[in-house]
Amino acid sequence: MALDELKDDDASYDIDGFQYVINKEFIEQAKPVKVDFLPTGFKIDSGIELGGGCGGSCGSEEGGSCG
């Protein structure tokens, strides 16, 4: 998430006093998108699957490894 100016290929949403600007093509791929404001910052959830990574936390007793 970053500050940005509205462009021709962006959609703009005004929600609770905040203006969210997101690329129209990207929003179609990411639906649904949810932005929560927390005491420590923003939390963003979307329908995009990020993949499994290394299969567990690095150095965990379950044997997961990132190497």
8-67: pLDDT as tens digits: 999 999 988 989 899 999 999 999 999 898 999 989 999 998 776 665 555 545 555 555
Give yes or no for a contact between 1 and 44, defined as CB atoms under 8 angstroms apart: yes
**Peptide bond between residue 39 and the one before it cis (omega within 30 degrees of 0):** no
What integer pLDDT is reported at residue 30 of this predicted model? Answer: 92
Please tell me the pTM assigned to this model. 0.59
Q: How far apart are CA 24 and CA 51, in angstroms?
A: 23
Q: Tally the residues of the chain.
A: 67
